[in-house]
A and B are shown apart, each in its own frame.
Chain A
Amino acid sequence: MRNLWNFIVQYQVILVFLLLQGLAISWFVSSHGYPRGAWVRLALDCESAWQGQINEWRHRTELSDQNFQLLEENARLRSSMGTPSSIQLAKRSQFTAAEVIRATWTQNQNYFILDRGKEQGVQAGQGVITNGGAIGKIIETTNDYSIGIPLIHNQIDWSARIGATGAIGRLKWDGVDPTAGMLFDIPRSAEFSPGDSVITTGFQGVFPPNLLFGIVANDEAPFDGEFLSVPVNWVVDFQSLRYVQLAKTKDANQINSLQNTVNPSAP
C-alpha cells in the first residue's frame, strides 16, 4: 500500500495528465462523428482479428481431435475388416489409437511414450504401428501411459522377411543413420532387389505378419562369407511421428503358453 502511494506521489503529474486526457479524448470521440467512426473501425478491426485468431486455434484443436477420431476409426476398421491380405491380420489382431507425447529420436537407444496405458488395455510386448508400418513395441505400462522402443534402438532385433515369401532375417539398427537399418542373416541364395518390401513375420508375437518395416535400399549388401546383410530404408519418418496404433495379438496368452511348453524361459 505504501509502495502504491509512493508511486502515485512520484508520478502524480503524469497520472493526472493521463486521467484528464482520457476523459477529454473520451468526450471528443463520443461527440465527433469521424473519430467515433475511426474508433469503432479500430475496435472492430481488433475484435475481428482476435476472433479470427480464436477461430484459428479452435479450428486447429478441432482438426487435432478429428485426426485422432479418424485414427481411432481407422484402428477399428483395421480390427474388423480389410483387404484379402489383411483379413488374416485382422482376425488375429486388435488395434488401439494413441498419441506420442514424448520421444527421443537422436540417441542410440531411443524411446517413445504414448498416452495410453493399462486402463486402455495396453500391455507390454504390443507392437506399435503407424499407417500400416511397424515402428516399435511397448516395453512398460502404467495406468494411463506406456513406454516403447522404436526400430531405431541399437539393442534389439526384429524378425523380418523380404517380400511375402522371401528370406527371413534379423532386422537391426546400427545406431547411426535414423532412416535405415540392416537385415542380417539373409542366405546368399535369397532373391531380392532394391525396392522390395521388408515386412514383419509375426514370429515374435509383437507385430501381426505382413506389416511394412521398410524397403530394400539401393546400396550393396555386404557378405560376411556365410550370410548377406541387406540395407533397409525405414518407411516411417520417426522424427515426425505423432499418432500411432497399438497392435494386440488375439489369443496371445494361448500362443505364449504354448511357446512356454517348448521354451519356458521365453517371454
Chain B
Amino acid sequence: MNSALLIPLQLALTCALQILFFQNMAFWDGWGILTFHLLGILLLPLNTRPVLLLLVSGTVGATIDIFAFGGGLFTSSAVAMALVLPFIDRLLAPREGYEVTDEPNIKSMGVQWFSIRTIAALAVHNLWMFSMEAGRWGLVLVGWGKAITSSLICWLLFVVVLQLAQSKGKKR
C-alpha cells in the first residue's frame, strides 16, 4: 500500500483501537495502563521532521483526550515523547546511519532495536503522564512505578501485535 495512505491509516487505526478497546483496559489497579495509540506514532518513518512529529503526536494525543476525557493529559505526554523520540533514534542509529528503506519496526530494525526504542519512548511518555496525573510529590513515586510497569506491558503488547501482523503478511 502507498505509504502516504498507510501512515494516516495506521494512526487512525491505533487511535480507534485505543479509544474503543484499550482505554477500557487497566490491569492491576492501574499498574498496567495501555497506550496503544503510541504505536502509530512510533511507526512513523524515521526521517519524519521533528516539527511534524510534534504536530502529529499532539493531534493523536488530543484525539485520545477528546474521546477518553483525558483533558490534555495524553496530548501533553505524546508531545513530550515526540520531542525525545528523534534523540532516541539518533542514539540508536547504526554507525553508518539509517538506510532510506529502514522502518522503525521489528522486521526492519530487529527486536532489540525496536524494544530499546519503544521502552525508552514509552517510559518518557508514561513518566510524564503519571507525574502530571499524580499532581503532588507524595504520589509521584507511585506514579513512576506505574509508568515503568505500564511501559513494559505496552512494549510487550506492541511486540505481539507487530509479530502477528508480520506473520499474517508472510502468509499472504
A positions within 8 Å CB-CB of B? 12-13, 16-17, 20-21, 23-32, 34-35, 38
Contact = CB atoms under 8 A, between A and B. Distances in A.
A16 B76 contact: no
Interface residues on B, range: 20 to 34
B11 interface: no
Given A17-B82, A24-B58, A27-B65, 14 more contacts: A17-B83, A20-B55, A23-B58, A23-B72, A24-B61, A24-B79, A26-B72, A27-B72, A28-B71, A28-B73, A28-B76, A28-B132, A31-B71, A32-B71
Interface of B is mostly: helix
B135 A38 contact: yes
Contact of A13 (B50, B65, B73, B132): B50
A124 to B, nearest CB: 69
Interface of B: 50-51, 54-55, 58, 61-62, 65, 71-73, 75-76, 79-80, 82-83, 132, 135-136
Contacts of B76: 21, 24-25, 28
A12 B51 contact: yes
B47 to A, nearest CB: 15
Interface centre among B51, B54, B71, B72 (most CB of A within 10 A): B72
Interface of A is mostly: helix
26 contacts: A13-B50, A13-B83, A16-B51, A16-B54, A17-B83, A20-B54, A20-B58, A20-B79, A21-B80, A23-B75, A24-B73, A24-B76, A24-B79, A25-B76, A27-B65, A27-B75, A28-B72, A28-B76, A29-B72, A31-B71, A31-B72, A32-B71, A32-B73, A34-B135, A35-B135, A38-B135
Contacts of A20: 54-55, 58, 75, 79
A264 B44 CA distance: 105
A31 B76 CA distance: 14
Contacts of A23: 58, 72, 75
Contacts of B73: 24, 28, 32
Given A16-B54, A17-B83, A24 B72 contact: yes
A17 B65 CA distance: 18
Contacts of B75: 20, 23-24, 27
Interface centre among A12, A24, A28, A38 (most CB of B within 10 A): A24
A159 B55 CA distance: 87
Interface centre among B61, B76, B82 (most CB of A within 10 A): B76
A13 B135 CA distance: 27
Contacts of B65: 27
A40 B90 CA distance: 40
A13 B54 contact: yes
Contacts of A29: 72
Contacts of B50: 13
Contacts of A21: 76, 79-80
A34 B73 CA distance: 13
Contacts of B80: 21
A188 B11 CA distance: 110
Contacts of B79: 17, 20-21, 24
